Structure 1
Amino acid sequence: SPGILPLDSPCSGLCDVIDIDEHYLVQKPEKLSSVCVAGALRDGLCAYTALHTHARMAAGHTLLVTDGASSFGLMCIQLACYHGVKVLTTSHSPQKHTFLEQLRPSVAKVIPVYDGSPDLLSVVLEETGGLGVDIVIDSGVRLQEEASEEAKLLPHKHDIISVLGVGGHWVTSHKDLQLDPPDCRLLHLKSASLTFLNPEVWTASSSQQGRYLHILKDIVDKMSTGVLRPQPEEAVPLYEATVAMETVQRHEVLRSHIKL
């Protein structure tokens, strides 16, 4: 079964060397460090899949990225700006707000969603002349009104649908998303679409291999030329891997990179 390693398998789940088909590899530019590429490749793949494959991004479109200071959100912002898209984004803290306002190329609007900040819908409609955005990419969705303090930073599903313009695209990372009939009716009235973002699907079909490799190569090329500039992350040595895994499981950090 997928994801299960048989007990009689010759490959160990904790081996020092991993066999990977050469047809799933791209060459790393010499000027990029292995840590930098390893930390940014997945977020870059997610951004490409969301913007190009699902949302069909084009110059002149308007994009809303939630939590733009996250590693995934930053990749989406930089890729969209490169293609001439007007970008709006939300910030989850004063520090992240300052960081997003100082980005170059700059975003059109940074919307704070912390400490009783202004309503997301009203700000987006004001920035778009009441039309709404063409694309929304979220990093999580709040399904209920009553939620934890951390979840309250996430946009409510109804707010996301409301900020979509006619024919808009909503790309979500929320795998357990539930829509009620009124939500579906509003999407129908706008002729809007909803797509689930799952970057793992590229390797599920051999027919997508060419596009998958093209995306990976374009990511490292754009990183090499400075179009994509991921936030630097420090790799954890192998002997601290267990501690790093525990911090991820406790949701203290989203991920951790291990240097072998």
Structure 2
Amino acid sequence: MNVIEIQETGGPEVLRLVERPQPTLTSPEALLIRVAAAGVNPIDTKIRQRGPMLPAGLPTVLGCDGAGVVEAVGANVTRFQPGDAVWWCHGGLGGAAGNYAEYRVIDQHWVHAKPQTLSLLEAAAAPLVLLTAWEALHDRARIADGQQVLIHAGAGGVGHVAIQLARLAGARVATTISSPEKAALAHELGAEFCINYHDEDVVEAVMDWTAGQGVAVALDTVGPEVFRRTIPAMAYAGDLVTILDPGPELDLKEARLRNLRLSLELMLTPMLRELPQARMHQGQILHRCAELIDRGELRLHVSHTFELAAAADAHRLLEQGHVTGKLVLDLERDR
């Protein structure tokens, strides 16, 4: 089978198309899945640059998100049968093989029935961003009906689903964007107020929108500088969540004065630490999101697709920044 493998760290050029033996079932709980599509996420580019997060080392295959069709099942598998269409977020961190590959073997407990109304290509774009946004808003910030919420980078991968999940929770949403086209998408997804950070002071705009109170919840999807600059935009006793490392140089005096709750969100932890209860919780989240998707209340925006052999081009585009929605490797295009 064809896979995209990295044998050394570096730029996109280290992503190499190679042929490897097709995997076989390794346990009674395992599924053999023909991968139809794989999501491309920022974590993939970081591992490519810095090396795997798990000790298995190099060479390795990237890709946490995937969707495909079950081809064979282990003797103890009860949840699936050959022919089932599934989605998952598993692998690609340096331990289990990732999804930039034509076939995967995965324990059944990481895999879930894909939403009926999503194509396999769309489904491959979804799990990581859905889990990240849901955990950030519901598990960390405890979002509530009627709150005013700020979502940074609302046209991005996590941001565009976070806007929708916040609206479904009854919140009013403001978001940062960088162009009129991204503002149009954010409004379409439910954002009430868009702030073009190139032209406006984000804190001033938020304070105007909230009548000087600040937002009850903010989600940083960008990085340390945005996290720090969001603190003055927060309401008293608000929740500020970041999905990135806020960095070592962090002055929390203003956050302390505002009695803020500061939260860190990393949806990869159940994989990194082998946490079965957390894995089960994430499965419940994907089930609930699938219901929302199939009711037409939540959607995924895929802006670009690439064949497997063009994975390096996908990484280059992602690292340029300002990608709208998600990027996906379409493995069916190669077959």
Matching residue of 1:206: 276
Matching residue of 1:91: 177
2:140 to 48, 54, 60: 54
Match of 2:247, SS state, is coil
CA separation in 1, counterparts of 2:101 and 2:216?
46
2:195 to 105, 111, 115: 111
TM-score normalised over the length of structure 2 = 0.64
Structure with the bigger percentage of strand = 2
Moved more, 23-32 or 48-57: 23-32
Q: CA deviation at 1:187?
A: 1.3
Is the CA contact (8 Å cut-off) linking 2:217 and 2:238 kept in structure 1?
yes
- What pairs with 1:65-76 in structure 2 (closer than 5 Å)? 65-76=151-162
Pair 1:132-2:218 in alignment: no
Matching residue of 2:330: 259
Superposed CA deviations along residues 17-49 of structure 1, whole A, max 9, x for unmatched, are: 221110111111333211111112211111101
Match of 1:122, SS state, is helix
Q: CA deviation at 1:121?
A: 1.5
Sequence identity (%): 25
Superposed CA deviations along residues 184-212 of structure 1, whole A, max 9, x for unmatched, are: 12111211021122110133312222211
1:64 to 132, 143, 150: 150
Is the CA contact (8 Å cut-off) linking 1:36 and 1:232 kept in structure 2?
yes
Moved more, 71-80 or 133-142: 133-142
Is the CA contact (8 Å cut-off) linking 1:37 and 1:220 kept in structure 2?
no
TM-score normalised over the length of structure 1 = 0.81
Whichever residue aligns with residue 175 of structure 2, its letter is T
CA separation in 2, counterparts of 1:73 and 1:202?
22
CA separation in 2, counterparts of 1:228 and 1:142?
29
Q: CA deviation at 1:249?
A: 5.6
- What pairs with 1:1-260 in structure 2 (closer than 5 Å)? 2-5=54-57, 16-101=102-187, 103-104=188-189, 106-114=190-198, 117-141=199-223, 143=225, 155=226, 157=228, 159-180=229-250, 183-203=251-271, 204=273, 205-248=275-318, 256-260=327-331
State the Cα RMSD in Å. 2.6
Structure with the bigger percentage of helix = 1
The 3 A distance-change label for structure 1 pair 141 and 28 is closer
Match of 1:191, SS state, is coil
Whichever residue aligns with residue 189 of structure 1, its letter is L
CA separation in 2, counterparts of 1:100 and 1:248?
19
CA separation in 2, counterparts of 1:245 and 1:186?
37
Q: CA deviation at 1:2?
A: 2.3
Gaps of 5+ in 1: 144-154
The 3 A distance-change label for structure 1 pair 191 and 233 is same
The 3 A distance-change label for structure 1 pair 169 and 22 is same
Is the CA contact (8 Å cut-off) linking 2:144 and 2:170 kept in structure 1?
yes
